[in-house]
Chains A and B, each alone.
Chain A
Amino acid sequence: MSRSVEERMADVRRLLECARVLFAARAGLAPAIAAASGLTAEGVELGFASLEREATDAELRAFVAAAGDAGRVHVVLSANVFVAPLRAMALARAAAERVTVRVSPRDPVLTRALVEEAVAAGDGAIALVDERDVARVDAGEVHVYGRDETIAAVRAGVRPGVVVRGHGSGMGVAIVSPGAQMDGAADALALDVVAFDQRGCLSPRLAVILGSAARAEVFAEALHASLRALGTRIPRGQLLADERSDACRWRDALSFAGRVWDASDHAVALAPEGSPLLVPPAGRHVTVIPVPSPEAVVSALSPIARFVVAVGTDDLAALGGMAPAHARRSVLGAMQRPPLDGPVDRRSA
């Protein structure tokens, strides 16, 4: 390790300072981010709340430890929420003295701004590159953020000896405890759902309600009300055609099997107890399902456990083994703001 832990922490802190500068100047970036991301201006403003700007020393030590050590890291950003490049660049910078970043052509705004700010702040070790051929990376690591097929393509394309760390797509799940106060839990979950219009890998798309079907119905109705209220303050952006058609199919399937609370900018569906989990598409759609016991939660989630990056709950102490071991855990309402203590996605790369 050529740089000390403290030096690496200092490099990350410098990026956090850049993030603070950009956060202060976010009004100037927001229109371009909205155009690229499909979020409304209000959605972009909410998304900026998830941009990491602070971290404790303990978090930064954990972050540096998780980053590993490489002579050089090439970051490939393919599909992310718009604030994700900060953590991706910080992780690369913690690992390496030289970092190159290939921006996502669909969402380049914050990445470009961060790199420019970092250079202006005196960090000449980070540079943007347009190179799309990972085979030109001759040493070090490639950190790739995107769909499984993108990660697989990068793995297949790199030279021997180049290490690929893949950060794939994923989803979040909410688990609502038997003691939860329904309206409060629904309000908090709605905030996690609305952020990035549910397009983040931490975004909850399923709400597992410990208890009876009647209890789950109460929660679904409360969540519908919470999403409606939040939607008036933070309107949803445009959905992609696939999201709209998937939503149509999901709504009809759950209208058949359960009940759907439908609105112009969101939908909540109640699935029958014991039914398989039907994951909705992104775009403020949530499947609520009653599950009778913690053991049944584990069983219900098992088919999708490998996709679950984050679990939010009203009762962290009671979560126990219900959440997949690799998933980040947080209270509802904070699922989109994980501490800067490592990659967002803790699944093995």
Chain B
Amino acid sequence: MTSLGRRGESEALHARARSMVRAFERRAAMPESFDTLAVDLARFQERTVPGYARLCAARGVDPARMVRAVDAPAVPTDAFKLAHVFAFDATDAAVTFRTSGTTLGARGTHFMRDVGTYDVAALAFGREMLARGLTLPISVLVIGPSADEAPDSSLAHMCTLFARALTQGAVARQTFFVRAGSLDVDGVRARVAVLDPAAPAVVLATSFALVHLLDALGGERLALPAGSRVMQTGGFKGKSREVAADVLRHDTALAFGVPERAVIGEYGMTELSSQFWEATLVDEGARHGVYLAPPWARVVAVDPETLAPVPDGAIGIARVEDLANVDSAFAILTQDRVRSVAGGFELLGRASGAPPRGCSIALDEMLSSAGGFT
């Protein structure tokens, strides 16, 4: 395939993924089935990503015979640390996101030739799950760094994207409250103090930054305007003490003076282009801990040994299928345990294994000793 042909094929696939996003925004029917685009993506990636061709061969998968998304082998997230998972040359990347962890000296790298599909997908679903019913523009506070400060962080990119979209381009000077690795608690306090009490605001935060903020506040309350919402995402990665999800949610709601249902979790990964959200703001029947997928992505619980889907309700490892991951890997194998439930999937965290035999160091012990994974 020529470089031009490859680029043209990639652009056509991006266009198809974006069509799905647009259909979602219009609340229209999807223009094609998930499996149709998934199989075309897998075939494109098998032809253009050498590692994926090797993985397909090792798994005995003939891309020509793929029919459904689940027929395509999933790329383990570790592969993003070991090799280029990219259909193009690294020099063709418009953005390069890297995993935050430095586990065992390695950071995963996700190259994107065209970040536009990421942006429209993230915004469409994020706006729906986080900002439904709000009249824009609204105030946004990010308890994290900006994209300028952390250009290789996909989370900083997403938060900056949301800040621009939700403020309709009028991003306040005091929006990002982690600078040079330090949390500006006084800045958060000052910004909350000047918020319009009649206009709801949105806070976007990582879990560990929230813990630091709550610790610094020490019980002090920073009440947000009525109708405000808080997004929390990510694990702790050894960057703060670990706090149980329900405790962190409760303490966050208390500190910001919002109902617990207005504190919602987002699940995303550097290796993906799409995100998954708790639906407590948009569905009265939804509960915390259950994440919803957009129509162009899904999470399949698979058996960790056979990688075959497990029955509904059984616990498996998350295989994430993301149709917006056009130029890298449409199917990713994570290390997170999940369970399919009505309305989405439950995120159960990393597996805690059976006691090991012998004194050979176990991988989870090595990783936790190194300060966490991605």
- Of the candidates A248, A257, A282, the one whose C-beta lies within 8 Å of that of B307 is A248
A282 to chain B, nearest CB (A): 4
Assess whether A249 is interfacial by the CB under 8 Å rule: yes
- Mask of A246-272 contacts with B, CB within 8 angstroms, 1/0: 101111111111111010000000011
The chain A residue sitting closest to B361, CB to CB, is A169
Bound together, the chains give a CA A145 to CA B354 distance in angstroms of 17
Q: Does B173 contact A (CB under 8 A)?
A: no
Q: Tell me, yes or no, whether B54 is within 8 Å of chain A by CB.
A: yes
Binds B, one of A8-16, A127-135, A198-206: A198-206
Residue of A nearest to B358 (CB): A199
- A163 to B356 Cα, complex, angstroms: 26
| Residue numbers in B under 8 Å from A250 (CB-CB) | 78
In the complex, A241 has a CB within 8 A of chain B: yes
Contact partner of B358 (CB less than 8 A), chosen from A148, A242, A278, A282, is A282
Interface contact A170-B104, CB-CB below 8 Å: no
Are B82 and A271 in contact, with the CB atoms below 8 A?
yes
Indicate with 1 or 0, residue by residue over B307-334, a CB within 8 angstroms of chain A CB atoms: 1000000000100000000000000010
Tell me if A148 and B365 are in contact (CB < 8 A): yes
Q: How far is the CB of A142 from chain B (nearest CB, A)?
A: 17
Q: Shortest beta-carbon distance, A131 to chain B, in Å? A: 20
Q: Of all chain B residues, which has the CB nearest A82?
A: B358
A38 interface hit (Cβ, 8 Å): yes
Is A307 a contact of B82 with CB atoms below 8 Å?
no
- The answer to whether the Cβ of B55 comes within 8 Å of any Cβ in the partner chain is yes
- Tell whether, in the assembled complex, residue B357 and residue A255 are in contact, meaning their CB atoms are under 8 Å apart: no
Mask: chain A, 149-178; 1 = CB below 8 Å from B; 0 = not: 100000000000000000111110000000
Q: Which residues of A contact B351 (CB under 8 A)?
A: 242, 245
Interface residue range, chain B: 35 or more
Query: Which residue in chain B gives the minimum CB-CB distance to A36?
Result: B357
Question: A242-B351, A279-B366 given as contacts; is B358 within 8 A of A256 (CB)?
Answer: no
A288 CB, min distance to chain B CBs, angstroms: 14
Chain A contributes a number of interface residues (CB within 8 A of B) equal to: 60
**Contact of B353 with A by CB under 8 A:** yes
- When distances are taken between beta carbons in the complex, the residues of chain A under 8 Å from B104 are 276-277, 279, 303-304
Contacts of B363 in A (CB 8 A): 246, 279, 281
- Closest Cβ of chain B to A153, distance in Å, is 13
Q: A148-B369, A245-B304, A276-B82 are in contact. Are A252 and B361 (CB under 8 A)?
A: no
Does A240 sit within 8 A of B, measured CB to CB?
yes
Are A106 and B357 interface neighbours, CB within 8 A?
A: yes
Report how far A148 CA is from B81 CA in the complex, Å: 26
When distances are taken between beta carbons in the complex, the residues of chain B under 8 Å from A84 are 359
| Of A200, A253, A271, most B-chain CB atoms within 10 Å | A253
CB interface residues, A 279-305, toward B, < 8 Å: 279, 281-282, 302-304
- Using A249-B78, A253-B82, A277-B104 as known contacts, say yes or no to A170 and B55 having CB atoms under 8 A apart: no
User: For residue A167, which residues in chain B have a CB less than 8 angstroms away from its CB?
Assistant: 359
Indicate if the CB atoms of A199 and B356 lie closer than 8 Å. yes
A32 at interface, CB cutoff 8 A: no
Residues of B within 8 A of A200 (CB): 358-360
Give complex CA distance A255, B358 in Å.
28
Q: What is the CB-to-nearest-CB distance from A154 to chain B, in angstroms, rounded to a whole number?
A: 15
A252 and B333 contacting across the interface, CB-CB below 8 Å: yes
Q: Are A169 and B360 in contact (CB under 8 A)?
A: yes
Q: Are B52 and A81 in contact (CB under 8 A)?
A: no
A3 interface contact, C-beta 8 A: no
A275 touches B83 (CB 8 A): yes
A256 in contact with B81 (CB, 8 Å): no
Report how far A302 CA is from B76 CA in the complex, Å.
24
**B305 lies within 8 A of A248 (CB):** yes
Q: Are B58 and A255 in contact (CB under 8 A)?
A: yes
List the B side residues contacting A79 at CB < 8 Å: 355-359
Please indicate the chain A residues that have their CB under 8 angstroms from the CB of B370 in the complex: 303
The 9 closest A-B pairs by CB, nearest first: A199-B358, A303-B105, A245-B304, A276-B106, A257-B82, A242-B353, A255-B58, A253-B78, A257-B83
Query: Can you spell out 10 A-B residue pairs with CB atoms less than 8 angstroms apart?
Result: A79-B356, A198-B360, A201-B358, A240-B353, A240-B354, A241-B304, A241-B305, A245-B305, A262-B58, A282-B356
